[in-house]
């Protein structure tokens, strides 16, 4: 080749393209570059792929350029692209830009590959992330073994046969990996049978590359290019269908895929000498990766939006469920949300149990309509519930008009709450009297003991509950308030667990049999919330009342009867004294 240069050009550089598969470059009779070993026979020949730049600092106006090429390996020998000649700066800048772009593309693919593999490790059901990650890693190998062939530039000692196998395998593996990506992303549009055809065809070509030499498998490039084009066309068809069906991200993926498709077709035609353009698939790949990154950002935006909605829904659900299952119940089971609760979750705690019930509610309800019944109960509960919460208690359940509350902190809280519940009822009754409605009375039973909180039921229906003898005793004490005419009855265990029992007005009521227990349980009346007059009378007769109780349980009925009669005669409202009077008379008779 004769090369005529302008007089003022100065030093020049020659960039050699891929020359299959070994060459020598002569400039004015001087060898300035060699790639591999050329020979007229296959024995002395050694192939190599290394693009490079030769610098000529004192060129003539008319120069002779000779390229000697030897090829016994590849089906396609000689120049694969045009040789570039120009000033040192222009040639150097051209190569650096190509190097830089290849490195940038490699880095982008590496980040996207690691990211998507990481996504798959966190969400194993999303196989599209796995296949896109694998595709990115395959394309890294493709980028490093084509174009400027960065892999061979940095590691020139790599065997030619091995390097070329990497180049071909990266192409033959990329097609099935990308097909798997599209099929996992849009399974309804990318059917499974065409996928199997693509996979089968690809693995046949992969097998041929793996077991044969370059002079054979280099002949498979054009047939596999036809397979790839067919797969690409089917992929576009699937994405068009997905876009028309409004599949998430299908339109964005289609746009990026169309650019990639166009550049791949260009490269196939360019590689086969049909058109004289340049290799554009790296740019198409970058556009496609960018479209996937954009699609990923859309998905994340929607995912965060959905997470916010789900969080709001979960918060609303928890608030709604807290009306049925107390938050404290969840906290004692060490659960954050109601959805975390499992059948059989349980814990044992020491707490104070409060049972309250409206006296003669059945008679009251008979004179009210269903709507009036519910309005009355809800009005009553709205009065009582804040008081229970005020003293660190929480309501375990409602049983009609009855309340079962738990006080985990101290028994003082339960007593204080019960006293205030009775006091607040007075104001409630004043309003009822003004509305020509009968006043109501309640009884409260309180006991302290060990209990188990947990869930019972089955997988379809379960509820939180409390299991303990302590619960049964508290319920029984509430029932005894009717017999003794007391408003609050507490167990000995509750009374003696108070920080200061004398802070409250109380008296000994006797002993009751407890199911499953050998000894009867001592019980006490808390009359702190009684009317002042009645409270003073109970307080003044407390010593005599308790003497009579002790006499009664010792069997000294006559002595006990006389004391109870004296107490009742001075206080006709002392139902407990009257109750024991009757019992003494029954025994006497």
Pick from 334, 338, 336, 311: which is nearest to 322 by CA? 338
Same domain flag for 349 and 485: yes
Q: How many domains does the chain have?
A: 4
Distance in angstroms (rounded) separating the CA atoms of residues 147 and 569: 114
Tokens of 562: 């006389």
Same domain flag for 228 and 255: yes
Domain range for 583 is: 531-589
Give the model's pLDDT for residue 76: 81
Same domain flag for 370 and 398: yes
Same domain flag for 431 and 383: yes
**What average pLDDT does the structure give for the chain?**
85
Task: Find the range with the poorest average confidence among 124-138, 188-202, 293-307, 454-468.
Answer: 454-468
Give the model's pLDDT for residue 43: 83
Which band of pLDDT confidence, cut at 50, 70 and 90, is reported for residue 492? very high
- Tell me if 174 is assigned to some domain: yes
Torsion region of 334: left, alpha or beta (phi above 0 gives left; psi -120 to 50 gives alpha)? left
Distance in angstroms (rounded) separating the CA atoms of residues 313 and 319: 10
- How far is the CA of 551 from the CAs of 83, 492, 526, 557, in angstroms? 123, 19, 21, 7
Cβ distance 172 to 202 under 8 Å? yes
Which band of pLDDT confidence, cut at 50, 70 and 90, is reported for residue 468? confident
Residue 14: in which H helix or E strand, if any? strand 12-15
Same domain flag for 430 and 296: no
Same domain flag for 101 and 62: no
Which band of pLDDT confidence, cut at 50, 70 and 90, is reported for residue 260? confident
Q: What is the mean pLDDT of residues 447-468?
A: 73
- Tell me if 557 is assigned to some domain: yes
Cis amide bond preceding 77, omega within 30: no
Give the model's pLDDT for residue 343: 56
Give strand pairing partners of 525. 489, 507
Cβ distance 571 to 577 under 8 Å? yes
Angle at 105 between CA 100 and CA 109, to 5 degrees: 150
- How far is the CA of 472 from the CAs of 102, 211, 466, in angstroms? 79, 82, 10
Pick from 292, 256, 281, 280: which is nearest to 112 by CA? 292
pLDDT, tens digit, for every residue of 399-434? 878 898 999 889 999 999 999 999 999 888 998 899
Which band of pLDDT confidence, cut at 50, 70 and 90, is reported for residue 497? very high
Same domain flag for 492 and 559: no
Give the model's pLDDT for residue 518: 76
Tokens of 402: 């009855």
pTM: 0.56
Give strand pairing partners of 508. 524
- Tell me if 416 is assigned to some domain: yes
Of 317 and 75, more confident = 75
Q: Which residue has the tokens 């802070």?
A: 503
Same domain flag for 500 and 537: no
Tokens of 109: 């693919």
pLDDT greater than 70 at residue 461: no
| CATH code (residue 490) | 3.30.70.1230
DSSP conformation class of 503: G
- Tell me if 54 is assigned to some domain: yes
- Tell me if 516 is assigned to some domain: no
Give the model's pLDDT for residue 588: 60
- Tell me if 514 is assigned to some domain: no
Q: What is the mean pLDDT of residues 445-455?
A: 84
pLDDT, tens digit, for every residue of 109-141? 898 889 889 888 888 887 888 998 999 999 899
Same domain flag for 163 and 129: yes
- Tell me if 312 is assigned to some domain: no
For 145, residues 6+ apart whose C-beta sits below 8 A from its C-beta are 151, 152, 163, 166, 167, 170
- Tell me if 313 is assigned to some domain: no
Same domain flag for 423 and 547: no
pLDDT greater than 60 at residue 324: no
Give the model's pLDDT for residue 459: 60
């Amino acid at each position: 080749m004769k090369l005529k240069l302008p007089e003022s050009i100065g030093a020049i550089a020659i960039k050699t393209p891929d020359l299959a598969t070994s060459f020598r470059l002569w400039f004015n009779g001087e060898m300035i570059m060699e790639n591999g070993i050329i020979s007229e026979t296959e024995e002395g020949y050694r192939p190599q792929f290394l693009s490079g730049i030769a610098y000529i600092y004192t060129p003539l106006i008319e120069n002779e350029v000779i390229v000697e090429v030897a090829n016994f390996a590849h089906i396609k020998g000689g120049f694969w692209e045009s040789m570039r000649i120009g000033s040192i700066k222009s040639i150097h800048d051209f190569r650096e830009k190509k190097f830089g772009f290849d490195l940038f593309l490699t880095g982008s693919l590496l980040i996207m590959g690691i990211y998507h593999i990481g996504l798959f490790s966190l969400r194993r059901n999303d196989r599209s992330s796995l296949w896109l990650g694998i595709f990115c890693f395959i394309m890294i190998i493709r980028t490093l073994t084509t174009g400027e062939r960065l892999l061979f530039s940095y590691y020139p000692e790599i065997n030619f046969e091995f390097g070329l196998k990497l180049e071909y395998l990266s192409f033959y593996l990329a097609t099935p990996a990308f097909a798997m990506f599209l099929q996992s992303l849009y399974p309804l549009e990318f059917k499974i049978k065409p996928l199997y055809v693509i996979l089968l065809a690809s693995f046949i070509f992969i097998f041929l590359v793996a077991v044969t030499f370059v002079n054979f498998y280099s002949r498979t490039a054009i047939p596999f290019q036809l397979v790839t084009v067919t797969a690409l066309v089917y992929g576009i068809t699937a994405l068009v269908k997905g876009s028309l069906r409004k599949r998430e991200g299908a339109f964005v993926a289609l746009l990026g895929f169309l650019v990639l498709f166009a550049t791949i077709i260009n490269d196939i035609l360019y590689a086969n000498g049909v058109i004289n353009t340049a290799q554009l698939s790296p740019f198409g790949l970058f556009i496609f990766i960018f479209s996937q990154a954009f699609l990923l950002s859309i998905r994340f935006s929607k995912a965060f939006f959905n997470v916010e909605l789900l969080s709001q829904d979960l918060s609303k659900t928890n608030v709604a469920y807290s009306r049925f299952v107390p938050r404290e119940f969840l906290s004692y089971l060490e659960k954050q949300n109601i959805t975390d609760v499992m059948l059989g979750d349980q814990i044992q705690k020491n707490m104070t149990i409060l049972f309250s019930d409206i006296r003669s509610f059945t008679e009251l309800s008979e004179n009210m309509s269903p709507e009036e019944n519910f309005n009355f109960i809800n009005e009553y509960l709205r009065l009582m519930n804040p008081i229970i919460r005020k003293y660190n208690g929480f309501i375990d359940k409602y049983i009609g008009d009855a309340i079962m509350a738990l006080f985990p902190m101290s028994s003082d809280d339960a007593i204080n709450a019960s006293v205030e519940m009775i006091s607040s009822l007075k104001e409630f009754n004043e309003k009822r009297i003004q509305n020509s409605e009968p006043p109501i009375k309640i009884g409260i039973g309180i006991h302290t003991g060990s209990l188990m909180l947990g869930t019972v039921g089955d997988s379809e229906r379960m509820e939180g509950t409390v299991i303990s003898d302590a619960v049964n005793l508290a319920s029984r004490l509430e029932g005894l308030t009717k017999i003794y005419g007391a408003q609050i009855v507490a167990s000995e265990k509750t009374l003696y667990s108070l920080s200061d029992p004398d802070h409250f007005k109380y008296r000994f009521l006797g002993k009751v049999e407890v199911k499953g227990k050998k000894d009867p349980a001592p019980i006490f009346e808390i009359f702190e919330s009684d009317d002042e007059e009645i409270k003073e009378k109970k307080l003044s007769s407390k010593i005599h009342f308790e003497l009579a109780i002790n006499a009664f349980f010792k069997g000294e009925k006559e002595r006990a009867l006389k004391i109870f009669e004296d107490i009742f005669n001075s206080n006709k409202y002392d139902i407990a004294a009257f109750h024991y009077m009757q019992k003494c008379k029954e025994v006497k008779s």
